[in-house]
Amino acid sequence: LQEQVLQEVREADSLDALERVRVSALGKKGRITGLMKQLGGLDPEERKAAGQRLNAAKQAVQEAIDARKGELAERELRERLARERVDVSLPPRPDPVGHIHPISRTIEEMIAIFGEMGFRAAEGPHIEDDFHNFSALNIPPEHPARQEHDTFYVRATDAQGERKVLRTHTSPVQVRAMQAEGPPLRIIVPGRTFRSDDDATHSPMFHQMEGLVVDRATTMSHLKGTLVAFCKAFFGVEELPARFRPSYFPFTEPSAEMDIGCSKRDGQLRIGGGEDWLEVLGCGMVHPRVLENCGVDSGEYQGFAFGLGIERMAMLKYGIPDLRPFFDSDLRWLRHYGFAP
């Protein structure tokens, strides 16, 4: 029997088969266990001798099983390692990479261009008080310009009991810069602005870039020269069809709006082409009353200011017809305009 079981152990070809052999020999109803149970029926002399032989057999079988188990386990491990080997030469799957938002990119480009002209970027709060957003800018409470701003009011009130507003333009930062630093000043202010407007060319949240220069002997021709030079650099063109139209803002005098010549082809906006004028910014000489409101001596200093719509400039530069997709995070749109791979 011992030889037969040892033979079966040698022939067991898997851990499962080996386990079956073990149970059939040493298990509760196994062949060797069965013989052990019969020992009780023998007389003492025979029992002792048979018991010894059975114990030896049992031990031999157990040792053979353990050894075989080691072999089989090692073989299975080797096979699994071979089967599951990683091919390190496979090229990796490309990871999706995040990208700078087109508006952030446009702002960075603008800061770089104005930076070369000696402008420094400044910032201000999105939630403003009436003074900075309106009255210091020569827009008193009854002024009709307030209606045009479609202002969002915030529930909270300030110390004077006035309700705060979401700034309707970046111009309040003109006031903050003049108050905090005084002249000479040469700043740009990129940032978010808010008006309750919503259609293909207006979004309730949009971006503006304010510009402010305050110095002695600052003139309208500095204003025009700066803006034309900026637009040529921004759009990457030598020739820029541009015009300054007289306009009105309470905080500048005289005031103007700058238009850029453009045309629409296949639904895409393009610079030049002589079809249309697109208004890109408002500008003018800082109103003396605004200088005085901000503690600047208007007898000694003059300034010019401008405010441009960042989305508009980006739409014109990249030929984008609709403003709202800027804030939809639609990968297909981002890829279409080259803002994502």
253 among the known binding-site residues? Answer: yes
**What is the torsional sign of CA 133, 138, 143, 144?**
negative
Task: Name the residue whose CB lies closest to ligand PHE.
Answer: 307
Q: In this structure, what are the phi and psi dihedrals at residue 36, rounded to the nearest 5 degrees?
A: -55, -40
In whole angstroms, give the CA distance from residue 154 to residue 157. Answer: 8
Q: Of 136 and 283, which has the nearer Cβ to ligand PHE?
A: 283
Q: Of 6 and 308, which has the nearer Cβ to ligand PHE?
A: 308
Helix (H, G, I), strand (E, B) or coil at 259: strand
Q: Of 80 and 243, which has the nearer Cβ to ligand PHE?
A: 243
Total residues interacting with ligand PHE, rule: CB under 6 A: 11
In whole angstroms, give the CA distance from residue 185 to residue 144. Answer: 30
Q: Give the nearest distance from C-beta 217 to ligand PHE in angstroms.
A: 19
- Residues 252, 262, 314, 323: which binds ligand PHE (CB under 6 A)? 252
In whole angstroms, give the CA distance from residue 190 to residue 308. Answer: 9
Tell me the window of 47-55, 70-78, 87-95, 301-309 that interacts with ligand PHE (CB under 6 A): 301-309
Q: Give the nearest distance from C-beta 221 to ligand PHE in angstroms.
A: 16
249 binds ligand PHE per the rule CB under 6 A? yes
The amino acid occupying position 288 is: P
Bond from prior residue into 321 cis (ω within 30 degrees of 0): no
Instruction: Check if the beta carbon of residue 154 is closer than 8 Å to that of residue 196.
Output: no
- Residues 165, 282, 294, 310: which binds ligand PHE (CB under 6 A)? 282
Tell me the window of 14-22, 128-136, 219-227, 282-290 that interacts with ligand PHE (CB under 6 A): 282-290
- Residues 133, 138, 171, 302: which binds ligand PHE (CB under 6 A)? 171
Q: Pattern 185-224, binding to ligand PHE, x per CB under 6 A? A: -------------------------x--------------
Q: Give the nearest distance from C-beta 307 to ligand PHE in angstroms.
A: 3
Q: Of 12 and 185, which has the nearer Cβ to ligand PHE?
A: 185
306 binds ligand PHE per the rule CB under 6 A? yes
Structure tokens at 339: 């803002």
Structure tokens at 156: 């909270």
Q: Give the nearest distance from C-beta 329 to ligand PHE in angstroms.
A: 26
Helix (H, G, I), strand (E, B) or coil at 174: helix
Q: Of 80 and 245, which has the nearer Cβ to ligand PHE?
A: 245
261 binds ligand PHE per the rule CB under 6 A? no
Q: Give the nearest distance from C-beta 325 to ligand PHE in angstroms.
A: 23
Contacts of 169 (CB under 8 A, 6+ apart): 133, 149, 193, 208, 210, 307
Q: Give the nearest distance from C-beta 202 to ligand PHE in angstroms.
A: 12
Question: What are the beta bridge partners of residue 209?
Answer: 190, 308
In whole angstroms, give the CA distance from residue 124 to residue 38. Answer: 98
In whole angstroms, give the CA distance from residue 207 to residue 326. Answer: 11
Q: In this structure, what are the phi and psi dihedrals at residue 286, rounded to the nearest 5 degrees?
A: -55, 125
284 binds ligand PHE per the rule CB under 6 A? yes
293 binds ligand PHE per the rule CB under 6 A? no
**Which long-range CB contacts under 8 A does 241-244 form with residues at least 24 apart?**
241/271, 241/272, 241/274, 243/277, 244/283
Q: Of 305 and 334, which has the nearer Cβ to ligand PHE?
A: 305
In whole angstroms, give the CA distance from residue 194 to residue 203. Answer: 8
Q: In this structure, what are the phi and psi dihedrals at residue 209, rounded to the nearest 5 degrees?
A: -125, 120
Binding-site annotation, residues for Mg(2+): 253
Where along the sequence are the contacts to ligand PHE (CB under 6 A)? 169, 171, 210, 249, 252, 282-284, 305-307
